[in-house]
Chains A and B, each alone.
Chain A
């Protein structure tokens, strides 16, 4: 058949157009799928892979016997992506969730708005914190209707014994701006991370925290994890446990004897320096610190005049009062100005120096009294006279030999060093020649500018008991640290022996009778710290058994009166508990403790 030329021309044009069209498509497809393939492949990968930070479980904290004191519990939050907020209307995800869970509308929206303000852009919003199992199930089942909604589990710190360990263990909390400061942020914390804030939690942060992981999860278009091909960019390495030296039952006993008094007590194992109990009252619930609680509750705690956040064991400083007298005695003995049986002028209820009259606590006076008697009866008059035979620096040296005037725990940054004044200190304070020997009289009976912490007093007692070889207080036994062994005491062994003997008599027949224990000899010293603001503080320090010491104890009860009548009976109750329980567990562990006590004091061996 004949085809006209026009038809053939149109055939060519039509074919040309179609082929040009397909060529255009083909070239474009080639460009996308070959030339720019890598770009699009990355885009597809980015589409479906979401980075998840997986926090490391924080190490647990246990007492010396392995009883859990702090652990983590998993709680689930129902969270929303930010895009869920932009879709309004009665059918929106947010409205549906609020309806299902019966959340109060205004309050919930306000809370979400607050989170929007506070947190940075990438973080998801928490709709229901610590969700109930029923709520979690609802989200899991109806996930298809809830794009952008996830159940996210996180771990929360739990302090099992609450107030009992608040000051020792401390607590965790969200990092603050200061923590994030790049110069002091060795672990690269980010906003929202949890960090140890106080106590052992803070001191052992690097040990407890572990290393968080990062994983890539595959998600679908609605943001739900499809659960295949999780890629770990960084494996999680969990935090390591910490074992305290404190024993739960001894700590509980300490809290029990203190009751609701404003007081604190410390007990130290004399052969290892391990802190067996350390409790400061009033305390607070550290669980409260791990969640955001109302500012009302916060104000109440902060403004409490009894200062519940104040860790009296290491932060509070008091005049040691009469429990300082062994130091004055040892200074006198070392200087050779008195002997152990020296009689000075009899006590008539006080001593006059210049135009000042220094009172003895016993206004009627002790009459003629020798050195040992003065210690046993805590006669101030004797010590005033002894003070006048010494200079202030001799006294300071003796005090510092026991670790006073410096911090002795490495884990409490807020620990106070107390104060051991010497001539330099007085010169700085009042000017050279502007102070008199009168300050010596106050120092000799542990008053005046002298300040100590309860922990220092416990350590002092332990060093008296063992002849000085007790290391600085050890709060944590795992991870272990090298104990800080102090310089040997500069005092003659017969003088130390005499002190111990006398302290035993203090409890047997002297001011510390209330600290006695049936069947087990106790050596101790009472103290009554003068308090210009109110009732005196009652001190008592002791160690037991007196002939083979294994535990040293210090307690102070604020505004409670005489140490002998108030503090000593508490010590007795605690010791009773301690020995009923079988005493130091470390007795069974053998070697170490024996060798320490052998090295520690030859006098002990010499004793029958």
Chain B
């Protein structure tokens, strides 16, 4: 394999091809998004500038170099990098919160001359590396519970900092990464059960408290839970703990709700009822669904999308680029797109299972979780299954930081895969 050529990265070719095709897809969609609509009066209103396309091309070249490097470095180097990288990224997040420029109401960008870089993206890589390192060592030491708790607290650091930017979507990425990697580490069943039921309790409590203003749904959920626990075969202590956790989250949610930013509350409320704000935060959700739905089986053909072309779709080059894909490429197009992601994810799970070193396995599963969460949530948002929160579609959405970090993560996956091929 490695004898092929020195300009290709090592490792799983299927993953590499998926990356290449996704990048080409991104360029095709960005070209379309930046094309003004044709007509007697050349439409110039709110067209996304062509520069977006060319900047992405440049970022793609940089990203390829990063991917190439990430696929070739030694695992030891990565292990050594984990702690310093994490510390640097946390410091950067703090620095940005303290001094960063406010762009579009949020402090997210590290400004280095002409370059804008989102430090939260760097923190994702750093967190994956650090988690992998910690979990590998814990595996050897066999300290299950304290590692779970410790990494959870560790995860809260970037999560809180990013949440303060504010960037709800990205902050949740850390939670997802933690859940995915700690699952791979192996957690007690009671913990999974506890976390899962707590989340359900939170959703029901929120729905009761903030959407319909009556306690019934949450009360019904609690009743069902008590019944289930009564029938379940487990220790009394576990049952009590589970019940308490559910009660705590259910009661805690309204307080957490108060802590959310006004716009976040709006978005979540609008998710439950998009018509509540059809021209505000519900507008994106509605227009995105219209764009995707109008695409049909084969789409309205490349460059021909009217939702995109006539600017009905906001954020169509960034977080909502999937809607453009749906409108112009149709069901066939988006299935191909999702298929490419699935290649990366399923191959990633494979390597995460078969890699020789556990550091590599955790690394792979971190990358897999990253892509699963990003793609899953982004598509769910654009199709109206989740409330609107800013989260890019990795490798496709316009934006240098995310493209670079996503490519590095693919590079790391290639790196891991190159070490499993001999078995």
Across-interface contacts of B334 in A (CB, < 8 A) = 29, 33
Decide yes or no whether A11 CB sits under 8 A from chain B: yes
| Chain A 1-27 residues near chain B, CB threshold 8 A | 1, 3, 6-8, 10-11, 13-15, 18, 21-22, 24-26
Closest Cβ of chain A to B184, distance in Å, is: 6
Write the chain A residue with the least CB distance to B295. A33
Decide yes or no whether B186 CB sits under 8 A from chain A: yes
Determine if B41 and A227 form an interchain contact, defined as CB atoms under 8 angstroms apart. yes
Decide yes or no whether A429 CB sits under 8 A from chain B: no
Across-interface contacts of B44 in A (CB, < 8 A) = 144
* A18-B346, A33-B326, A41-B296 known; A221-B186 Cβ under 8 A: no
Bound complex: CA A10 to CA B369 (Å)? 13
Closest Cβ of chain A to B349, distance in Å, is: 6
Residue from A3, A28, A37, A48 in contact with B312 in the complex, judged by beta carbons closer than 8 Å: A48
Decide yes or no whether B306 CB sits under 8 A from chain A: yes
| Chain B 17-42 residues near chain A, CB threshold 8 A | 37-41
Is the contact region of chain B dominated by helix, strand, or loop, or is it mixed?
helix
Interface of A with B (CB < 8 Å)? 1, 3, 6-8, 10-11, 13-15, 18, 21-22, 24-26, 28-30, 32-34, 36-37, 39-41, 43-44, 47-48, 83, 143-144, 218-222, 224-228
Determine if A224 and B45 form an interchain contact, defined as CB atoms under 8 angstroms apart. yes
Would you give the 0/1 interface string for B331-359, flagging 1 where the beta carbon is closer than 8 Å to chain A?
Answer: 10011001000100110010011101000
Determine if B40 and A228 form an interchain contact, defined as CB atoms under 8 angstroms apart. yes
Residue from B46, B307, B345, B353 in contact with A44 in the complex, judged by beta carbons closer than 8 Å: B307
Across-interface contacts of A7 in B (CB, < 8 A) = 353, 361
Please choose the segment from B48-56, B110-118, B147-155, B376-384 that sits at the chain A interface, where 4 or more of its residues have CB less than 8 A away.
B376-384
Write the chain A residue with the least CB distance to B369. A14
* A14-B349, A47-B290 known; A226-B37 Cβ under 8 A: yes
Bound complex: CA A8 to CA B379 (Å)? 29
* A15-B346, A33-B292, A221-B311 known; A228-B184 Cβ under 8 A: no
Determine if A44 and B306 form an interchain contact, defined as CB atoms under 8 angstroms apart. yes
Determine if B293 and A36 form an interchain contact, defined as CB atoms under 8 angstroms apart. yes
The 7 A-B pairs at the shortest CB distance, nearest first, are namely: A40-B293, A228-B39, A227-B41, A44-B294, A221-B311, A220-B310, A32-B293
Centre residue among A1, A21, A34 by max chain B CB count within 10 A: A21
Across-interface contacts of A13 in B (CB, < 8 A) = 183
Bound complex: CA A37 to CA B44 (Å)? 29
Determine if B45 and A143 form an interchain contact, defined as CB atoms under 8 angstroms apart. yes
Can you report 27 A-B residue pairs in the complex whose CB atoms are below 8 A from each other? A7-B361, A11-B353, A18-B368, A25-B376, A25-B379, A26-B335, A26-B338, A28-B383, A29-B383, A30-B331, A33-B296, A43-B293, A43-B294, A47-B287, A47-B306, A48-B306, A143-B45, A144-B44, A220-B37, A220-B43, A220-B45, A221-B45, A222-B45, A225-B41, A227-B39, A227-B40, A228-B37
| CB contacts between A and B, total, < 8 Å | 142
Write the chain A residue with the least CB distance to B332. A33
Bound complex: CA A408 to CA B342 (Å)? 90
* A25-B338, A25-B383 known; A14-B292 Cβ under 8 A: no
Q: How big is chain B's contact interface, by range?
A: 35 or more
Determine if A41 and B46 form an interchain contact, defined as CB atoms under 8 angstroms apart. no
* A47-B312, A48-B310, A221-B311 known; A10-B385 Cβ under 8 A: no
Decide yes or no whether B173 CB sits under 8 A from chain A: no
* A10-B186, A226-B41 known; A25-B293 Cβ under 8 A: no
Is the contact region of chain A dominated by helix, strand, or loop, or is it mixed?
helix
Across-interface contacts of B393 in A (CB, < 8 A) = none
Write the chain A residue with the least CB distance to B41. A227
Residue from A34, A218, A226 in contact with B297 in the complex, judged by beta carbons closer than 8 Å: A34
Across-interface contacts of A8 in B (CB, < 8 A) = 353
* A15-B346, A227-B41 known; A32-B383 Cβ under 8 A: yes
* A33-B295, A221-B312 known; A144-B46 Cβ under 8 A: yes
* A25-B379, A48-B312 known; A32-B41 Cβ under 8 A: no
Bound complex: CA A39 to CA B291 (Å)? 11
* A1-B356, A11-B349, A29-B326 known; A220-B293 Cβ under 8 A: no
Residue from B45, B287, B297, B342 in contact with A33 in the complex, judged by beta carbons closer than 8 Å: B297
Residue from B39, B45, B311, B380 in contact with A25 in the complex, judged by beta carbons closer than 8 Å: B380
Closest Cβ of chain A to B417, distance in Å, is: 15
Centre residue among A3, A14, A37 by max chain B CB count within 10 A: A14
Across-interface contacts of A43 in B (CB, < 8 A) = 290, 293-294
Determine if B45 and A29 form an interchain contact, defined as CB atoms under 8 angstroms apart. no
Bound complex: CA A220 to CA B365 (Å)? 44
Closest Cβ of chain B to A14, distance in Å, is: 6
Determine if A14 and B310 form an interchain contact, defined as CB atoms under 8 angstroms apart. no
Determine if A10 and B293 form an interchain contact, defined as CB atoms under 8 angstroms apart. no
Interface of B with A (CB < 8 Å)? 37-41, 43-46, 180, 183-184, 186, 279, 287, 289-297, 306-307, 310-312, 326, 330-331, 334-335, 338, 342, 345-346, 349, 352-354, 356, 361, 365, 368, 372, 376, 379-380, 383, 385, 423
Determine if A22 and B45 form an interchain contact, defined as CB atoms under 8 angstroms apart. no
Determine if B353 and A3 form an interchain contact, defined as CB atoms under 8 angstroms apart. yes
Across-interface contacts of A44 in B (CB, < 8 A) = 290-291, 293-294, 306-307, 312
Across-interface contacts of B356 in A (CB, < 8 A) = 1
Determine if A40 and B290 form an interchain contact, defined as CB atoms under 8 angstroms apart. yes
Bound complex: CA A28 to CA B335 (Å)? 12
Determine if A41 and B383 form an interchain contact, defined as CB atoms under 8 angstroms apart. no
Bound complex: CA A14 to CA B362 (Å)? 13
Write the chain A residue with the least CB distance to B292. A32
Bound complex: CA A41 to CA B311 (Å)? 16
Across-interface contacts of B43 in A (CB, < 8 A) = 220, 226
Across-interface contacts of A227 in B (CB, < 8 A) = 39-41
Determine if A29 and B292 form an interchain contact, defined as CB atoms under 8 angstroms apart. yes
Write the chain B residue with the least CB distance to A15. B349
Determine if B46 and A226 form an interchain contact, defined as CB atoms under 8 angstroms apart. no
Determine if B331 and A33 form an interchain contact, defined as CB atoms under 8 angstroms apart. yes
Determine if A29 and B331 form an interchain contact, defined as CB atoms under 8 angstroms apart. yes
Write the chain B residue with the least CB distance to A46. B290
Across-interface contacts of A47 in B (CB, < 8 A) = 287, 290, 306-307, 310, 312
Closest Cβ of chain A to B172, distance in Å, is: 15
Write the chain A residue with the least CB distance to B293. A40
* A226-B41, A227-B39 known; A219-B293 Cβ under 8 A: no
* A47-B307, A220-B45 known; A18-B345 Cβ under 8 A: yes
* A34-B297, A37-B293, A40-B289 known; A221-B310 Cβ under 8 A: yes
Closest Cβ of chain B to A145, distance in Å, is: 10
Closest Cβ of chain A to B114, distance in Å, is: 25
Determine if B349 and A28 form an interchain contact, defined as CB atoms under 8 angstroms apart. no
A-B contacts besides A40-B293, A47-B312, A220-B311, 11 pairs, CB < 8 Å: A7-B361, A8-B353, A10-B184, A15-B346, A25-B380, A29-B335, A37-B296, A43-B293, A218-B306, A221-B312, A227-B40
Determine if A222 and B311 form an interchain contact, defined as CB atoms under 8 angstroms apart. yes
Bound complex: CA A222 to CA B342 (Å)? 38
Bound complex: CA A333 to CA B310 (Å)? 87
Bound complex: CA A22 to CA B334 (Å)? 12
Closest Cβ of chain B to A435, distance in Å, is: 79
Across-interface contacts of B368 in A (CB, < 8 A) = 14, 18
* A14-B183, A18-B372, A29-B334 known; A228-B38 Cβ under 8 A: yes
Across-interface contacts of A41 in B (CB, < 8 A) = 293-294, 296
Write the chain B residue with the least CB distance to A42. B294
Across-interface contacts of A6 in B (CB, < 8 A) = 186
Bound complex: CA A145 to CA B56 (Å)? 28
Bound complex: CA A262 to CA B183 (Å)? 103
Across-interface contacts of B290 in A (CB, < 8 A) = 40, 43-44, 47
Across-interface contacts of B342 in A (CB, < 8 A) = 18, 22
Across-interface contacts of A220 in B (CB, < 8 A) = 37, 43, 45-46, 310-312
Closest Cβ of chain A to B187, distance in Å, is: 10
Across-interface contacts of A37 in B (CB, < 8 A) = 293-297
Bound complex: CA A26 to CA B353 (Å)? 26
Bound complex: CA A29 to CA B289 (Å)? 10
Across-interface contacts of A22 in B (CB, < 8 A) = 338, 342, 376
